[in-house]
Amino acid sequence: MFQQEQSKTELKQLGEFGLINHLTSTIRLQNTSSIKGVGDDAAVIRQHEKDLLVSTDMLLEGIHFDLTYVPLKHLGYKAAVVNFSDIYAMNGKPEQLTVALACSNRFPLEAIEQIYEGLLLACNEYGVDLVGGDTASSKAGLLLSLTIIGAVEPGKAVYRSGAKTGDLIVVSGDLGGAYMGLQLLEREKAVFMETPGAQPDLQGFDYILQRQLRPEARRDVVEFLAENAIQPNAMIDISDGLSSEILHLCTQSNTGCRVFEDKLPIDPTTVNLAREFEIDPTVCALNGGEDYELLFTLPQEHFEKIRNCPLLSIIGYITDTPNEHLLVDKSGNTHHLTAQGWNAFEKK
């Protein structure tokens, strides 16, 4: 007797976060030291006088980076910094890093040394210790898996689920630059593939290229908040696009939001290049991703403390209407925010 083949669900139907939710929905924490599990930028583990923060990230060649235009030293630096960003998004401080690396025999020792130069440069810059890891061979290319361990005072960790009605929605830095840096690099790669030996036209785009190739984690923002006795109600870092991250905050907080297009911080270089590519700069800011800025909500009582801070922009407020996530455009019309950023399982 032949067995009937079971129907199969493609992972792209779930998306990255849908898959995570599906696989982890039945997990129940068993230890009192496990304060926060899956579902935030980092797990929280209570250890005596402080809470440990733990987060893991994986980067695969051809999926997360393209070695045609990503220097290996920059790759190491970025791989470390994006993990540090997860700890800052929990209102903590990154302290230890482990790195697992798998590579094929096309990589000589000198190439691996460049990656570690970047990793160590980031660790030195942010005061993080590289304390261990693993190496293995790979048949398919380069893979990096990093685990960051940080710390935060008990009760000071900030989750995605704490947003309150009336909270200000605040973002650090500017948005969309990393996405346009990627578009520029992809354009120049296409030119090179068609005309081998052609030199890339990258003059005048140092800022957005740095946003893509060598981002920085917003330690300065966490320090500013601490110095001004400001505790966000909810916080997340912007890795998959502003829209996606706002929806995470609202969904986990059971709230709605209103975001104002004319308040979105976008660098002029990003605006000009987006228009050259015939892309709406607002779309870059909302859906581009990889900015690694911090998005958080604050009680309105902190307005005076942050209104003139050059690090921060107030872009909207939290509402009491769950599932109503609105963008107010420059004409005053409202549009529903949707998550159109990175989907790890969608064919590109």
Among 152, 183, 216, the domain boundary falls at: 152
Residue-level pLDDT at 5: 57
* pTM passes above 0.85: yes
Alpha helices in 147-258 (DSSP H): 177-194, 206-213, 219-227, 242-253
Same structural domain, 131 and 189: no
Whether 67 shows a pLDDT value over 50: the answer reads yes
Among 152, 180, 207, the domain boundary falls at: 152
Residue-level pLDDT at 200: 82
Tokens found for residue 315: 């872009």
Please give the tally of structural domains in the chain.
2
Same structural domain, 331 and 184: yes
Same structural domain, 244 and 324: yes
Mean pLDDT of 14-39: 58
Mean pLDDT of 140-152: 93
Whether 86 shows a pLDDT value over 70: the answer reads yes
Same structural domain, 139 and 178: no
Best CA proximity match to 200, nearest among 187, 214, 183, 182: 187
Give the whole-angstrom CA distance, residue 145 versus residue 125. Answer: 20
Mean pLDDT of 288-305: 96
Give the whole-angstrom CA distance, residue 42 versus residue 36. Answer: 8
Mean pLDDT of 250-267: 97
Q: Which domain holds residue 188?
A: 168-336
Best CA proximity match to 217, nearest among 305, 157, 148, 273: 148
Contact 53, 95 (CB under 8 A): no
Among 122, 152, 182, the domain boundary falls at: 152
241 Cβ partners below 8 Å, 6+ apart? Answer: 286, 287, 288, 289, 339, 340, 341, 342
Whether 24 shows a pLDDT value over 60: the answer reads no
Mean pLDDT of 332-340: 90
Give 117-144 as a DSSP string: HHHHHHHHHHT-EEEEEEEEE-SSS-EE
Give the whole-angstrom CA distance, residue 133 versus residue 146. Answer: 8
